[in-house]
Amino acid sequence: MKVNFTETVLRDANQSLIATRMPFSDFEGILETLDNAGYYSLECWGGATFDSCLRYLNEDPWQRLRKIKAKVKKTKLQMLLRGQNLLGYKHYPDDVVRRFVELSVKNGIDIFRIFDALNDFRNIEVAVDEVLKQGAHAQGCICYTTSPIHNLEKYAQLGKELEALGVHSICVKDMAGILGPQEAYDLIKALKESVSVPVFLHTHSTTGLGPITYVKAIEAGCDGIDTAISAFSGGTSQPATETLNYTLKQMGYDTGLKDDMLKQINDYFKPIKSKYISNGQLDAFVMGTETDALTYQIPGGMLSNLIAQLKAQNAINKLEEVLAEVPNVRKDLGYPPLVTPMSQMVGVQAAANVLAGQRYKNVSKEIKAYLRGEYGRAPGPVNQELVEKVLNGEKPITGRFADTLEPAFEKTKKELGSLAKSDEDVLSYIAFPQLAERFFKSREAGFERVVAYSISVKQEEAK
Ligand code: CO
C-alpha cells in the first residue's frame, strides 16, 4: 500500500521552528533535489509565508512561489489557505477569495489545503468551489481538537459535509500535536468508513506523539502524512521524514521516497539549522518534547508566539499561569479549535487576563468580533455572560459573514493605481495593507534595504 508524504520544511517546519524567517536564498539550492525525492507534495506557501516575506524578508511572496515552481517541475506544490480568511485573520468578500485562488493556481499552487478555524464550512465553500473551477486539487480540512462536544460521530459528520462540497481529499489537521495514536486510529477509521475520498493526517511532534500517531493512522488506512526533513523536524515541527520513511518501508508500505535524496536534503539543511541556532532564531525550547501541550492543547506556533509575547513584556515568568488560563478562555468561547487565528486570539486573551490580574478587563477587538459571530459559528455554547458584557445589547450575526461584505478587488485596484504592478500586488495589499505598501515603496526605491540586509547577513556568515 502507498503512503503519500508531504514535505513541510518550506512552510510548516519553517514556521513552527523559526517563525518563517527562512529566505528563499536559504533553500533555493535544494529545490531540484526536493523535486526528485519522490514526495507527494511540497508544502511551501501559506499566510505566515506572506506575512514574513513582506514584513521581514523583503521578498514578494508571489515571486517566491514562481521561483519555487521554476525548479519544482514534477512534485505538486501545496498551500495552506484559511478559507474565507485567506491568509489573515479577517473575512474577505467572495470576489477577493476567488481571485486569490485563481492567481495562486496561475502562479504555481497545485493543492489547496483549506480550513476554517471553527470547522464552519460555510467559510470554505467559496474557496473550495473556485479551486474546483480552476481544475486544482481541493483538500478540505477538519481541525482536530478535544472537548466535551467533539466526538467520532461529529468528526464523521464533518467528513461527510466536506465530501458533499466536492473536495478531492480530506485532511485531519492536528495543529497542536495532541492527537494520540489510538485516537488517530479510531478517527481515521471512522472517516474512512464515512467518506470515499483519500484521508490525510497533519500533526506536530510537540508532545512526542507524532510519529506513533502517524503509524497507527496509517494502520487505519490513512493515505498521506506530513513530515519535515530531520534537520527541521521534531519539537513544534513535524515528525522526521526519514524516520517515518524508514519505519513504513520496514512495515511493507510503499513511500515512493528515495533514501539517498533524503540524505542529500538533510545534509543541505544541517548547516542552515546551525546558523539559526547560533543567531538565536531557533530557540531550544521549541525543539524539545513538551508534554504539557497534552493538557494545554497549545499548537507549536501558538506556544512560540506566547513565549515571544511574554518575553517582550518582560513577563516570561507568567508563562505557566497563561498556559493554565488558555483552557478557561476556550471554554468561554464554545471550544474553538486552537488554530490560527483562534490560537492567537485565545492566547492573547489568556495573556491579557493574567497580566491585567482580572479576567476580560481588556477584550481584544478580534474576540469581540468572534462573539458577534463574524468568524462563524462557535462549535459549542458560548459563555452568555461574556457575550452580554462584550456586545452590550448588540445582536450577534447568524448568517455567513462574507455575505455582508462588498466586493473589494476592483475598487482596491483602482485605489492603488501605479503602486500595484500586478493583480498579485493588489491581493498582497488586500491581505496585508501596511506591509504590502511598505514593500511596494521599498521595491520602487530599488530595494536599498534588501542590499543592506544581504550585506549584513554576509558579514554575519563570514564571522
Ligand atoms: Co501545522
Q: What is the pLDDT of residues 343-379, one digit of tens each?
A: 889 999 999 999 999 999 999 999 999 999 988 999 9
Give the model's confidence band at 214: pLDDT under 50 very low, under 70 low, under 90 confident, else very high: very high
Compute the distance from residue 139 Cα to the ligand 1 centre, in Å: 15
Q: Which residues surround ligand 1, an ion (CB under 5 A)?
A: 12, 175
Render 302-354 in DSSP notation, one character per residue: HHHHHHHHHHHTT-GGGHHHHHHHHHHHHHHTT---S-TTHHHHHHHHHHHHH
Element at 173 (helix H, strand E): strand 169-173
- Cell numbers that stand for 309 in this block: 509575547
Q: What is the DSSP letter of 54?
A: I
* Helix and strand counts by DSSP (H, E) for the chain: 22, 8
Q: How many CB atoms lie under 10 A from the CB of residue 74? A: 8
For the cut 90, the answer to whether the pLDDT of residue 170 exceeds it is: yes
Q: Which pLDDT score is estimated for 217?
A: 98
- Write the CATH number for 365: 1.10.472.90
Compute the distance from residue 242 Cα to the ligand 1 centre, in Å: 18
Segment of 69-73, 302-306, 367-371 carrying the highest mean pLDDT = 69-73
Measured CA distances, 180 to 240, 301, 359, 367, 392 (Å): 17, 19, 32, 30, 41
Residue that is last in its domain, among 248, 278, 308: 278
State which amino acid sits at residue 46. G
For residues 209 and 69, membership in a common domain is answered with yes
d(CA 288, CA 408): 44
Q: Report which of residues 96 and 341 the model is more confident about.
A: 96
For the cut 80, the answer to whether the pLDDT of residue 462 exceeds it is: no
d(CA 443, CA 455): 17
Q: Which pLDDT score is estimated for 449?
A: 54
Q: Which pLDDT score is estimated for 450?
A: 54
Q: Mean per-residue pLDDT for 275-304?
A: 82
| Angle CA 93–94–97, to nearest 5 | 95
- Cell numbers that stand for 9 in this block: 520544511
Q: Which pLDDT score is estimated for 31?
A: 98
For residues 224 and 354, membership in a common domain is answered with no
Q: Which pLDDT score is estimated for 398?
A: 85
d(CA 330, CA 355): 17
For residues 127 and 24, membership in a common domain is answered with yes
pLDDT, averaged across the chain: 93
- Cell numbers that stand for 369 in this block: 468580533
Compute the distance from residue 410 Cα to the ligand 1 centre, in Å: 33
Compute the distance from residue 177 Cα to the ligand 1 centre, in Å: 8
For the cut 50, the answer to whether the pLDDT of residue 1 exceeds it is: yes
For residues 175 and 77, membership in a common domain is answered with yes
Q: Mean per-residue pLDDT for 200-227?
A: 97
d(CA 16, CA 304): 8
Compute the distance from residue 7 Cα to the ligand 1 centre, in Å: 12
For residues 18 and 156, membership in a common domain is answered with yes
For the cut 70, the answer to whether the pLDDT of residue 91 exceeds it is: yes
Give the model's confidence band at 281: pLDDT under 50 very low, under 70 low, under 90 confident, else very high: very high
Q: What is the pLDDT of residues 100-133, one digit of tens each?
A: 999 999 999 999 999 999 999 999 999 999 999 9
Compute the distance from residue 204 Cα to the ligand 1 centre, in Å: 6
For residues 257 and 163, membership in a common domain is answered with yes
Q: Which pLDDT score is estimated for 300?
A: 62
Compute the distance from residue 270 Cα to the ligand 1 centre, in Å: 22
Compute the distance from residue 172 Cα to the ligand 1 centre, in Å: 11
Phi, psi of 90 (to 5 degrees): -120, 170
Compute the distance from residue 202 Cα to the ligand 1 centre, in Å: 7
Compute the distance from residue 164 Cα to the ligand 1 centre, in Å: 25
State which amino acid sits at residue 399. G
Contact of 228 with 5, CB cutoff 8 Å: no
For residues 289 and 272, membership in a common domain is answered with no
Q: Which pLDDT score is estimated for 209?
A: 96
Compute the distance from residue 237 Cα to the ligand 1 centre, in Å: 8
For residues 37 and 162, membership in a common domain is answered with yes
Element at 69 (helix H, strand E): helix 61-71
Biggest CA–CA distance in the chain, Å, is 64
Element at 128 (helix H, strand E): helix 125-133
DSSP-based three-state secondary structure for 17? helix
For residues 151 and 241, membership in a common domain is answered with yes
Compute the distance from residue 416 Cα to the ligand 1 centre, in Å: 34
| Angle CA 307–308–314, to nearest 5 | 85
Contact of 144 with 172, CB cutoff 8 Å: yes
For the cut 60, the answer to whether the pLDDT of residue 212 exceeds it is: yes
Compute the distance from residue 167 Cα to the ligand 1 centre, in Å: 20
Compute the distance from residue 175 Cα to the ligand 1 centre, in Å: 5
Per the structure, how many domains does the chain have? 3
Strand partners, 112: 79, 138
Compute the distance from residue 246 Cα to the ligand 1 centre, in Å: 22
Compute the distance from residue 28 Cα to the ligand 1 centre, in Å: 23
Render 352-395 in DSSP notation, one character per residue: HHHHTTSTTSS--HHHHHHHHTTT---SS---HHHHHHHHTTPP
For residues 8 and 151, membership in a common domain is answered with yes
Residue that is last in its domain, among 403, 419, 449: 403
For the cut 90, the answer to whether the pLDDT of residue 56 exceeds it is: yes
Compute the distance from residue 203 Cα to the ligand 1 centre, in Å: 6
Compute the distance from residue 80 Cα to the ligand 1 centre, in Å: 9
Element at 433 (helix H, strand E): helix 433-444
The answer to which of 70-84, 210-224, 449-463 has the lowest mean pLDDT is 449-463
Q: What is the dihedral of CA 127, 129, 135, 137, to 10 degrees?
A: 60
Contact of 188 with 172, CB cutoff 8 Å: yes
Q: Mean per-residue pLDDT for 136-158?
A: 94
For residues 299 and 269, membership in a common domain is answered with no
Residue that is last in its domain, among 262, 278, 294: 278
Compute the distance from residue 254 Cα to the ligand 1 centre, in Å: 24
Compute the distance from residue 459 Cα to the ligand 1 centre, in Å: 33
Give the model's confidence band at 339: pLDDT under 50 very low, under 70 low, under 90 confident, else very high: confident
Instruction: Please name the residues in contact with 246: beta carbons below 8 A apart, sequence gap of 6 or more.
Output: none
For residues 265 and 289, membership in a common domain is answered with no
**Residue 199 sits in which domain range?**
4-278
d(CA 451, CA 462): 16
- Write the CATH number for 251: 3.20.20.70
Compute the distance from residue 221 Cα to the ligand 1 centre, in Å: 21
Compute the distance from residue 17 Cα to the ligand 1 centre, in Å: 11
In the chain, what percentage of residues exceed pLDDT 90? 82
Q: Mean per-residue pLDDT for 294-319?
A: 83
Compute the distance from residue 344 Cα to the ligand 1 centre, in Å: 14
